[in-house]
Amino acid sequence: MSDHNTKEAGKFMSRALALAREVQGRTSPNPAVGAVFVKDGRIVGEGATEKPGERHAEIVALQAAGSEANGATLYVTLEPCCYQGRTAACTEAIIAAGVADVHFSHEDPDSHVSGRGKAQLAESGIPVVVGEGEDEARRINEGYLMHRTQGRPFVIAKFATSLDGKIAATSGDSRWVSGPETRAWSHELRTRIDAIAVGVSTVLIDDPQLTARLAPSAGSGQAPSAGSGQAQLAEHQPLRIVIDSKGRTPKDASVLGCGTPTLIATTRASPEAWRAEMTQAGARVEVLPDDGAGRVSLPALVKHLGESDVLTLLVEGGGVLHGSFFDEGLVDKVHAVVAPLIVGGDAPSAVVGRGAERMADALRLNDVSVERLGDDFLITGYTSARAIST
């Protein structure tokens, strides 16, 4: 491919990736995919994956292109599916439309596809190019890739700390460590994940709603906040998870309200009457094995969520829960916000748990990026290369 053609292909694949990003978090348990049909150097049809059971990106774009799809080039961020599921096979529609060639970012690891879509297209005489935009495409669907290859959700640990690593004041007061820009970013992040988890101590201390809320108006500079009367719930809401081993969540906790699903993960140590009370309050109660120390087994929880088609899990704390996830080796990605504050004293830390005995044993993140959010800094990294290249 010439330099000119490579640049053109990159431009159109970038558009497909942008379309995929727009629906990230809204297509689960399907991947977020973008597709663009190009003919004579112009886009003749484009689209993104719709809700589960509805059209895949290729079909949305194909129907938008109509007869122009004949002889066109398709740019799509994931290998087209080749089997009949809740929707028909995309490869068959592509072949029937007379598409000239197909470019996709990477193969689909789903056992129903896994290279078969590429093979079917090639066998029908359609040239296939693989690899354009692969890194970004994998990031967009890191939850889907983890789920399809390891049967569990992609776990993201998120916390905001002061410069000296504290997540609250010495009294336990944590509102607010971060600034309004960070809080707005946090709510937007919630619209792109499947589930959000906190420990019961966070529920007892902060009484969070754990919902995704929109700012009053774009560019207003105001951050969503519970009880403000101005913020509104986003269309997509994550499953709210409270990890409560002994049954301490009160029946009037805010996490049980707002009409958004809540899962309470507990053990047999919790009273049956409390479980019935939580169920009556609208929560789904899941009794899981304990870890030998009386706490919910996190590997068992993660396994259960994977079996429930949860692709991404955002862990928001507190420090004990974060420490437990890190100790179990279950964290794949970290969003750490550092605010220009000094708390001092014996205030709570972001990550507790067993920790590392030596600095050589400390977990060092890979592929680290830094972003400014108002006066705060967002540091993002992965715990292993496997997490992003699965």
Q: What residues act catalytically? A: 58
The CA distance from 288 to 246, in Å, is 12
Query: In which residue are the tokens 């040239």 written?
Result: 127
Q: Contact 181/378 with Cβ under 8 angstroms?
A: no
Give start and end residues of each alpha helix (H) in 112-270. Answer: 116-123, 134-140, 142-150, 180-190, 200-206
Structure tokens at 157: 């640990």
**Omega cis (within 30) before 29:** yes
Question: Which structure tokens are listed for 171?
Answer: 């009294």
**What are the structure tokens assigned to 47, written together?**
């689209």
3-state secondary structure of 92: helix
Quote the strand ranges of the chain, DSSP E: 34-39, 42-48, 73-76, 101-104, 128-130, 154-161, 195-199, 213-214, 232-233, 239-243, 262-266, 284-287, 312-315, 333-338, 366-373, 376-382
In 3D space, the residue among 127, 158, 125, 132 whose CA is nearest the CA of residue 17 turns out to be 132
Instruction: Give 172: exposed, middle or buried? Use CB within 10 Å, 0-12, 13-18, 19+.
Output: middle
DSSP for residue 256: G
CA distance readout (Å), 121 to 96, 103, 117: 11, 11, 6
Sheet containing 333-338: give its strands across: 284-287, 262-266, 239-243, 195-199, 312-315, 154-161, 333-338, 376-382, 366-373
Q: Could you count the other beta carbons within 10 Å of the beta carbon of residue 136?
A: 17
- Specify whether the CB–CB gap between 355 and 306 falls below 8 A: no
